[in-house]
């Protein structure tokens, strides 16, 4: 999985989770479901948010280049 695809999945999980949490006003148990969905965004972040060249974590780097090796993240 590419870094950009993992970022899109992470962002989609965050948005969906917050939407579910907002629906908790209607049905209270949805709060726990939404919280679990938001927490699940950490899985693609930590597994796939790595430089494909040097393998180091990119952290909050959302740019095109790795802050460690300077190479382009996704072609």
> At 10, phi and psi to the nearest 5?
-60, -45
pTM for this entry:
0.79
Q: Please check whether residue 54 is in contact with residue 69, taking contact to mean a CB–CB distance below 8 angstroms.
A: yes
Tokens of 44: 């693609």
Would you kindly state where each structural domain of the chain is located, as residue ranges? 1-75
**What's the confidence (pLDDT) of residue 1?**
83
What pLDDT is stored for residue 75 in this prediction?
Answer: 53
Q: What is the pLDDT of residue 21?
A: 94
Across 11-23, average pLDDT: 95
pLDDT digits (tens, 9 = 90+) for 18-62: 999 999 999 999 999 999 999 999 999 899 989 989 989 988 888
């Amino acid at each position: 999985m590419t870094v950009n695809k993992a970022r899109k999945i992470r962002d989609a999980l965050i948005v969906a989770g917050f939407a579910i949490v907002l629906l908790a006003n209607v049905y209270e148990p949805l709060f726990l479901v939404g919280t679990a969905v938001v927490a699940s965004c950490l899985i693609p972040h930590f597994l796939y948010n790595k430089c494909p060249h040097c393998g180091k974590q990119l952290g909050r780097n959302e740019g095109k280049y790795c802050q460690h090796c300077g190479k382009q993240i996704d072609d």
